[in-house]
Structure 1
């Protein structure tokens, strides 16, 4: 292999018939290309149909089209199994558009009657809402931009609303709007913010969306670590070609989808293994609380303790025991299992997934955007536990670890690169508090994160203060050990 992988031949799209485009995806990141895009690709292989995808990059730089176009918009997806890695080429993308470069091209495409479904993975913060209430943040800079010029929206919500408006005015049936983000009731969340923004533009548009557009809820599950330069080199060594945009993922995957589509037009994702159900809620609660809740908890504590990855964190017997404690004592009691599912077996399988040495999922990556993630991943569980008089020392420690993390300094005094929409505000609140108590009280008062029921629970706040003090005095590992003891 040449010293520079860029000297290898470029990945080429397989010489197979290209389907027509029926799906637009907003937020073309690694997760979607490792999950939803593969389901759609496999559905077409089994059942046919014009369900090719046009990906839309909403943020720039970097420009994505110039990266994907030389390889025919194909990319390599790599399954990271404990017994070895398995690459496959995915030729499901027909094009990639960079929205900031050409917003008109994106709106024209979304308004095309051939497009039946719009999907999105823009992360929690991409919906420009308040996670604690689900309401649209009308003062969000992106929303303010969305209102200025109908031909140059900024947010995913802005593109959705303006494209639907074009279809309404042209007498074209709407597309199905399907979120693939880790949000509880994600379809309901997107529905609410889309209708609210539409109402600010034209009440008749909002009424039409309410009547005609469907927003199916979904539950998605697959661990997808960020692609690193060494991953690109490894893929090149395996395949003999250069692909600058491979995606790495665990073998496990799950997609539970509410079967509500406009005019019932959709690819046969059931043939590819997706579960089409009437109610996603029990699957969603199980995953958000059991997987995402522990993922966030051990990422903050693990990072503070100097652990770089989830695998490294759960390889430590203290954090392994802490993770299992959370499931047994605080999370499973607050979860209603979906029909036919054993939560004990589900969480045991989760631990095996965390323990996969081939998955190097960085604690820093999972720790991003905690202010947007904590309400649904942890705080809802805490509120239900407290309502049922169940103690929450483990989850309180996780919340305190988040508070220390957003303070921007780890246990060794090193700076933390905190990535969060509220990073500046949270850092200022942390800095303004001279004692752990003052820091905790200042951050608990942030309405964008903490619901009133927790803000006003004195015992809960005292537990956070005690946990924060312990983190400062003893460190994350000792505190996790004490919780389990």
Structure 2
């Protein structure tokens, strides 16, 4: 059977517990027509690459249900590991192979460098470097790959964003076109019109950073000495807009992937009902002294914040036409209480400066337009404000991680005469609501509410 290659950029735990699992399911069914090649833009996971290379790309996935039922499976779908080097030449070379028909990527929300108007943040150092010819971002690397693919007899390819960015395929496409325009590569823009598709997707599985005792547990249960295992919850979902270039794709529908005409309803539900409460619970749980998501979700205060936000504002904004959002909310909150996953608040609390504009701002704007005063949603950026105040004071119990954090600007905000006013006026965070008196008043009120809840 002829082999097609699925190149994945961003070889982290999520990819290995999600997309690689689906491709492995196809291989188990006897369809080995697709295999994965994978590598990274950043030099922060070479230990994983080296471990996987020594294991011929194979590793064990442990899944665990909220009731503690554990299952173990060897994943064999990653057949080529691409070592990192400063110019990313091996990754570019792989992307330029004609056998590569899909290039997918998980680079986190912050990795798309988009402001609240979905334009590139050109002042970001990594993006600045790429605009000058570098390859530190997804745009820089994809531009170089497409330049080479233009020389192929058939370089047509699907570019598949697998991150929690609303309308992710469209946003990535527009960001890439803007990047190409800024770098004078209009020939690639023209070529893309007939040779590239960028479907929207929705991905879902809670995948924490692997626990320290995971290798020992896997060896005890399976006898396998795995140096690069991953773990995740039992639940898994993948919804993809069925818009692969020339319809060249794995038979993903045979292994439970939903190929649909429009991802938007699923995407909106997942971002607003899962991703946003997840972050809110992490922020609140941390403020109340917890370190893990399951412990934080079991706090009545944190759970109520998440429940009220969905009930009062999300359901009103989205309606229940296609998905029962109330039922989905309850399933999600139950998933968060899984004590066996041991997902950390540190992981989930990350990238707040990207999450607020991408995931929370739309609900705020919609509710204001509906004539509401969305206190339940405003409580979420208020939580983040108090959370980052702790960061400013050096009192967080862990290092806060954020791809677009401007440390000097955030410290300056908290040292200003009126930090809440400065925060509420931040257009990058709040878009058209920034600086509006009614929004500032609501946010100020909610910051005080949060302070009372954690007192």
Pair in the same fold by TM > 0.5: yes
SS at match of 1:113: coil
1:198 matched to 2:180? The reply is: yes
Any conservation in 1 of the 2:294–2:336 contact (CA below 8 Å)?
yes
Aligned to 1:348: 330
**Which residue, 150, 160, 173 being the options, matches 1:168?**
150
Any conservation in 2 of the 1:129–1:193 contact (CA below 8 Å)?
yes
Aligned to 1:144: 128
Deviation per CA, 1:271-326: give whole Å up to 9, x if none: 11010001100110011001111111111111111121221122123333332222
Taking the TM superposition and a 5 Å limit, the aligned residue runs for 1:36-435 are 36-46=19-29, 48-63=31-46, 64-81=48-65, 82-101=67-86, 103-130=88-115, 132-149=116-133, 153-199=135-181, 200-337=183-320, 339=322, 341-409=323-391, 413-414=395-396, 417-420=399-402, 421-434=404-417
Distance 1:321 1:128 in 2: 32
Distance 2:109 2:396 in 1: 28
Taking the TM superposition and a 5 Å limit, the aligned residue runs for 1:451-470 are 451-452=431-432, 454-470=433-449
SS at match of 2:73: strand
Distance 1:142 1:458 in 2: 35
Any conservation in 2 of the 1:195–1:209 contact (CA below 8 Å)?
no
Distance 1:260 1:182 in 2: 19
Which of 280-289 and 323-332 deviates more? 323-332
Q: Kindly state the Cα deviation for residue 197 of structure 1 after the two structures are TM-superposed.
A: 1.8
SS at match of 1:78: strand
Structure 1 runs not aligned, ≥5 long? 1-16, 479-485
Any conservation in 2 of the 1:301–1:398 contact (CA below 8 Å)?
no
Aligned to 2:420: 440
Deviation per CA, 1:126-171: give whole Å up to 9, x if none: 12322x111123333333333444xx62222111111111111334
Aligned to 1:11: none
Deviation per CA, 1:310-356: give whole Å up to 9, x if none: 211221233333322222112211124463x2222211211221122
Q: CA RMSD in A?
A: 2.2
SS at match of 1:404: helix
Off by >6 Å, runs of 4+ in structure 1: none
Q: Kindly state the Cα deviation for residue 104 of structure 1 after the two structures are TM-superposed.
A: 1.7
Deviation per CA, 1:47-88: give whole Å up to 9, x if none: 614211111121113414322111111111111112321111
Any conservation in 1 of the 2:367–2:373 contact (CA below 8 Å)?
yes
Any conservation in 2 of the 1:308–1:364 contact (CA below 8 Å)?
yes
* TM-score, normalisation: structure 1: 0.88
Any conservation in 1 of the 2:27–2:77 contact (CA below 8 Å)?
no
Give the paired residue count.
451
CA distance 1:52–1:136, change in 2 (3 Å): same
Any conservation in 1 of the 2:98–2:152 contact (CA below 8 Å)?
no
Distance 1:141 1:282 in 2: 35
Deviation per CA, 1:168-211: give whole Å up to 9, x if none: 13343221000100010000011011112222232121121133
Distance 1:270 1:122 in 2: 25
Distance 1:62 1:92 in 2: 19
Distance 1:201 1:163 in 2: 16
Deviation per CA, 1:422-445: give whole Å up to 9, x if none: 2404532333234xxx11111223
Deviation per CA, 1:436-478: give whole Å up to 9, x if none: xx111112233322202x1143222112112223434x243x7
SS at match of 2:107: coil
CA distance 1:258–1:305, change in 2 (3 Å): same
Deviation per CA, 1:369-423: give whole Å up to 9, x if none: 1011112221111111111122322222221110122224499955652222224
SS at match of 2:429: coil
Structure 2 runs not aligned, ≥5 long? none
Distance 2:160 2:45 in 1: 25
Which of 91-100 and 213-222 deviates more? 91-100
SS at match of 1:449: helix
SS at match of 2:29: helix
Any conservation in 1 of the 2:424–2:443 contact (CA below 8 Å)?
no
Any conservation in 2 of the 1:55–1:96 contact (CA below 8 Å)?
yes
